[in-house]
Amino acid sequence: MKIFSILFSLIIISLSANSQKPKSVSTKPKLVVGIVIDQMRWDYLYRFQPLFKSNGGFKRMMNSGFSCDNTMVPYAPTVTACGHTCIYTGSVPNIHGIVGNNWWDKSLNKLAYCTEDRSIEGVGNTKGDAGKMSPRNMLVTTISDELRLATNFKSKVIGVAIKDRGAILPAGHSANAAYWYDKGTGSFISSSYYMKELPTWLNEFNKRKLVDSFYRLGWNIQLSKETYLNYCTDDVKPYEYNAFEDSRPGFPYNNLSKFINKDYSKIISTPYGNTLTAEVAKAILINEKMGKGAETDFLAISFSSPDYVGHSFGPNSWELLDCYIKLDDELGKLFDALDKQVGVSNYISFLTADHAVAHIPAFMQEHKLPGGTFDDNVEKNEINKQLKGQFAIDTAILSFENYQLTINKKSIQLSGIDEQKIVNWIINYLKQNEAILNVFELNKLMGTPMNNTIKERLANGYFENRSGDIQVILKSGYIDGMKTGTTHGLWNPYDAHIPLLWYGWGIKKGSTHKETYMTDIAATLAALLNIQMPSGCIGKVIEDVLK
């Protein structure tokens, strides 16, 4: 009897323990959603946080996910194509080969664009060369390629953005599709690299002509004027670029309807570009049944419009603030759609940026802060003019891209003048410009006295056949541009400090100020998905993110 009583007690304890076990958790997510904000400074997360909605995208990720608050771009130049490639490959231009949006290709002896591919055709309602694009210039795999490999190509991978490079490079070489916006037609298109014709659902989407509807609505602020004055400078400043050709710039922009059937490029410089992108992304979710298969799918979304708004109006403008308030709304709705499509706990999402941005130099000067402008085209033309006059060299400088000059070795050789003499002349000439911190030959980079951080960033950005011969480093606050608007591209924190938020399946709640890098994103995703890192990945797993 005593033995029976002991056995009965053990059974009860065992049953009780089993009843308290947690419900089984899926061994893999149904969907990964990569979100890249084109031109987002990390400080926007906290500067604008009081204005973000509780059900918006940013607070949802920050309150329930994990934030890496000290994430840096580990190379220069900090531009769109390099950023998107680095995020998804975990690599740097020195390895993956995408050294800029454009570069002078020494092997081809011509200016090249990052995703151009003359061997293919556009698919959809395209104009010009908008559809002649593919990822073939990217020399390594992406995390989305590795997911396809790991599942014997059963995972579905799709990229979408306003910019072609924002859709194509993240989606990778083996993607099922990539879709981008054709500014000539107002439609989302693709290329024959991916498909012979657009899917029916996208043709139907394009027929809706949402751009025309948005033009008719115009663009006005969402919050009170007092709110914008509290966070920004005046609505209209002389150093802002007049993006809409208005005789009276500033809010409200009620005359956008003049662009209907005439100019479909203007919409991308408004928050409606983000709305268009989000609507296409949600259409992809539903029509392509993302997250509904047996294997993990991947949707790569890039919001390009913050870049266009930021370039034109700057980080302290009403337009930029309004753009982010409305983007927060769009992200919230996107997460609602994801919850409905695949389930709250069944997807991973990360949000980051391809680069940040400098303040407009005139704004900096207005507040007694360092800053100014440098015009590379003016300098290139002046150098060529002076070398023509002094040494009879025709077009001594072929290109001034990505803060690097490519010299015309053939022309210099024909002149009979020692190449080093010409290089030294160019360096000495540029050193006289007040905007320049340093200038030197790139093949002497490692022996040039400078801070190790800058040296490492430049070395990571160097790819011999696609990089220049002479490197220019601008002083803090100086940009390559005109007197209105702003840009990015340097090693400085204002261009290189980006947000990195994680949310969903496999992600714990919290934050870290440990230094992390853009290259770590792909490595961390590989760990979460239990797949191989991309072929050029140099990043490390951010272990703090993982449950």
Residue 106, domain CATH: 3.40.720.10
238 in a structural domain = yes
Q: Are 289 and 376 in the same domain?
A: no
| 8 Å CB contact between 57 and 330 | yes
What is the signed CA dihedral for 161, 272, 350, 281, rounded to 10 degrees?
-60
Q: Residue 464 is which amino acid?
A: E
174 and 305, same structural domain? yes
| Same domain assignment for residues 269 and 376 | no
Question: Would residue 106 count as lying in a domain?
Answer: yes
Question: Quick check: is 519 in a domain?
Answer: no
Is residue 23 situated within a structural domain? no
Q: Is residue 127 included in any domain, yes or no?
A: yes
Report which of 192, 176, 198, 190 is spatially closest to residue 297, judged by C-alpha positions.
176
Check if the beta carbon of residue 474 is closer than 8 Å to that of residue 37: no
Burial 310-324 (b: 16+ CB within 10 A, else e): bbbbbbbbbbbbbbb
* Interatomic CA distance for residues 520 and 546, integer angstroms: 13
The reply to whether 448 belongs to the active site is no
In this structure, the answer to whether residues 63 and 41 fall within a common structural domain is yes
Same domain, yes or no, for 141 and 198?
yes
How many structural domains compose the chain?
2
Burial of 163 (0-12, 13-18, 19+ CB in 10 A): buried
Classify residue 365: in a domain, yes or no: no
CATH number of the domain residue 474 falls in: 3.30.1360.150
140 DSSP assignment? S
Q: Domain check: are 197 and 283 in the same one?
A: yes
Rg over alpha carbons for the chain, rounded to the nearest Å, is 25
80, 89, 233, 270: which is the annotated catalytic residue?
Answer: 80
- Cβ atoms of residues 165 and 307 within 8 Å: no
| 12, part of any domain | no
Question: Are residues 326 and 462 part of one domain?
Answer: no
Are both 258 and 147 inside the same structural domain?
Answer: yes
Predicted pLDDT at 334:
98
Give the pLDDT of residue 125: 84
Could you list the pLDDT tens digit for every one of the 547 residues in the chain?
444 444 444 444 444 444 333 333 468 999 999 999 999 999 999 999 999 999 999 999 999 999 999 999 999 999 999 999 999 999 999 999 999 999 999 999 999 999 999 999 999 988 889 999 999 999 999 999 999 999 999 999 999 999 999 999 999 999 999 999 999 999 999 999 999 999 999 999 999 999 999 999 999 999 999 999 999 999 999 999 999 988 788 999 999 999 999 999 999 999 999 999 999 999 999 999 999 999 999 999 999 999 999 999 999 999 999 999 999 999 999 999 999 999 989 999 999 999 999 999 999 999 999 999 999 999 999 999 999 999 999 999 999 999 999 999 999 999 999 999 999 999 999 999 999 999 999 999 999 999 999 999 999 999 999 999 999 999 999 999 888 999 999 999 999 999 999 999 999 999 999 999 999 999 999 999 999 999 999 999 999 999 7
Is residue 202 assigned to a domain?
yes
Range of the domain at 387: 372-480
Shared domain check, 330 and 386: no
Q: Do 347 and 390 reside in the same domain of the chain?
A: no
Same domain, 185 and 95: yes
309 lies in the same domain as 388 = no
